[in-house]
Amino acid sequence: MAWQAHFVKNMFIVPSADELASFTPDFVVLNGAGCTNANWQAQGMNSENFVAFNLSERIQLIGGTWYGGEMKKGLFSVMNYLLPQKGIASMHCSANRGEAGDVALFFGLSGTGKTTLSTDPHRQLIGDDEHGWDDDGVFNFEGGCYAKTINLDPQAEPEIYGAIRRNALLENVVVRADGSVDYADGSKTENTRVSYPLSHIDNIVKPVSRAGHPSKVIFLAADAFGVLPPVSRLTTEQMQYHFLSGFTSKLAGTERGITQPTPTFSACYGAAFLLLHPTQYASVPAAKMAESGAEARLVNTGWNGEGNACRCAIPAASLARSSTALPARCARRPSRCSVLRSRRAFQG
Could you tell me the CATH number of the domain that includes residue 86? 3.90.228.20
**307 domain-assigned:** yes
**198 domain-assigned:** no
Per DSSP, the residues of 10-21 read HHSPPPPHHHHH
**240 domain-assigned:** yes
Domain that residue 132 falls in: 2-163+205-345
**193 domain-assigned:** no
Rounded distance between C-alpha atoms, residue 281 and residue 82, angstroms: 11
Q: Model-level pTM? A: 0.86
pLDDT for res 109: 84
Across 192-234, the runs of DSSP E, i.e. the strands, are 193-197, 210-211, 216-221, 231-234
**155 domain-assigned:** yes
Rounded distance between C-alpha atoms, residue 84 and residue 282, angstroms: 10
Mean pLDDT of 65-91: 96
pLDDT in tens, 144-167: 999 999 999 999 999 999 999 999
pLDDT in tens, 261-311: 788 899 999 999 999 999 999 999 999 999 999 999 999 987 655 544 444
Give the C-alpha distances (Å, rounded to integers) separating 199 from 15, 86, 125. Answer: 15, 30, 10
pLDDT in tens, 181-195: 999 999 999 889 999
**263 domain-assigned:** yes
**268 domain-assigned:** yes
Total tally of structural domains belonging to the chain: 1
**174 domain-assigned:** no
